[in-house]
Amino acid sequence: MAYAYLSTGREKVMSDSRELALTIALEAVLNAARSFSVDINELCETAIESLTLVPSNISPAIVAAIGEIESAANAIDYGEGE
Protein backbone atom coordinates (compact mmCIF):
# COMPACT_ATOMS: atom_id res chain seq x y z
CA MET A 1 0.00 0.00 0.00
CA ALA A 2 1.41 3.39 -0.99
CA TYR A 3 1.05 6.44 1.19
CA ALA A 4 0.86 9.97 -0.07
CA TYR A 5 3.55 12.31 1.18
CA LEU A 6 2.53 15.89 1.71
CA SER A 7 5.43 18.28 1.73
CA THR A 8 5.64 20.64 4.68
CA GLY A 9 8.13 22.88 2.90
CA ARG A 10 10.74 22.05 5.54
CA GLU A 11 12.76 20.05 3.01
CA LYS A 12 13.69 23.25 1.17
CA VAL A 13 14.67 25.01 4.39
CA MET A 14 16.88 22.08 5.33
CA SER A 15 18.38 22.07 1.86
CA ASP A 16 19.13 25.81 1.96
CA SER A 17 20.69 25.44 5.40
CA ARG A 18 22.87 22.56 4.25
CA GLU A 19 23.89 24.44 1.09
CA LEU A 20 24.99 27.42 3.17
CA ALA A 21 26.91 25.15 5.55
CA LEU A 22 28.69 23.45 2.63
CA THR A 23 29.62 26.81 1.11
CA ILE A 24 31.05 28.01 4.42
CA ALA A 25 32.91 24.71 4.84
CA LEU A 26 34.45 24.91 1.36
CA GLU A 27 35.64 28.47 1.98
CA ALA A 28 37.11 27.41 5.34
CA VAL A 29 38.99 24.51 3.73
CA LEU A 30 40.38 26.83 1.06
CA ASN A 31 41.43 29.34 3.73
CA ALA A 32 43.13 26.57 5.69
CA ALA A 33 44.94 25.37 2.56
CA ARG A 34 46.11 28.91 1.88
CA SER A 35 47.46 29.14 5.45
CA PHE A 36 49.64 26.12 4.57
CA SER A 37 50.94 28.02 1.52
CA VAL A 38 48.93 25.95 -0.93
CA ASP A 39 48.34 27.70 -4.26
CA ILE A 40 44.53 28.01 -4.14
CA ASN A 41 44.18 28.57 -7.87
CA GLU A 42 46.18 25.43 -8.62
CA LEU A 43 44.22 23.47 -6.02
CA CYS A 44 40.91 24.56 -7.53
CA GLU A 45 42.08 23.85 -11.09
CA THR A 46 43.17 20.35 -10.04
CA ALA A 47 39.83 19.75 -8.31
CA ILE A 48 37.94 20.89 -11.41
CA GLU A 49 40.11 18.70 -13.64
CA SER A 50 39.32 15.72 -11.42
CA LEU A 51 35.61 16.36 -11.96
CA THR A 52 36.02 16.49 -15.73
CA LEU A 53 38.22 13.44 -16.31
CA VAL A 54 35.44 11.78 -18.28
CA PRO A 55 33.96 14.55 -20.46
CA SER A 56 30.96 12.41 -21.43
CA ASN A 57 30.04 12.15 -17.74
CA ILE A 58 29.69 15.87 -17.04
CA SER A 59 26.24 16.22 -15.52
CA PRO A 60 24.46 19.37 -14.41
CA ALA A 61 25.58 18.54 -10.86
CA ILE A 62 29.23 18.53 -11.97
CA VAL A 63 28.77 21.86 -13.74
CA ALA A 64 27.20 23.26 -10.55
CA ALA A 65 30.06 21.87 -8.43
CA ILE A 66 32.60 23.55 -10.71
CA GLY A 67 30.73 26.82 -10.32
CA GLU A 68 30.79 26.46 -6.55
CA ILE A 69 34.53 25.77 -6.52
CA GLU A 70 35.13 28.84 -8.67
CA SER A 71 32.83 30.99 -6.51
CA ALA A 72 34.55 29.88 -3.31
CA ALA A 73 37.99 30.54 -4.80
CA ASN A 74 36.87 34.00 -5.91
CA ALA A 75 35.50 34.71 -2.43
CA ILE A 76 38.85 33.72 -0.93
CA ASP A 77 40.75 35.86 -3.46
CA TYR A 78 38.49 38.83 -2.74
CA GLY A 79 39.05 38.39 0.98
CA GLU A 80 42.84 38.56 0.63
CA GLY A 81 42.79 42.33 0.31
CA GLU A 82 45.60 42.34 -2.25
Residues 4-24 pLDDT 10s:
556 666 555 558 888 899 999
pTM, two decimals, is 0.72
Residues 46-79 pLDDT 10s:
999 999 998 887 899 999 999 999 999 998 877 6
How many helices and strands (H and E) does the chain possess?
3, 0
Report the distance separating Cα 40 and Cα 43, nearest Å: 5
Domain boundaries, the chain: 10-79
Between these two residues, 81 and 16, which has the higher pLDDT value? 16
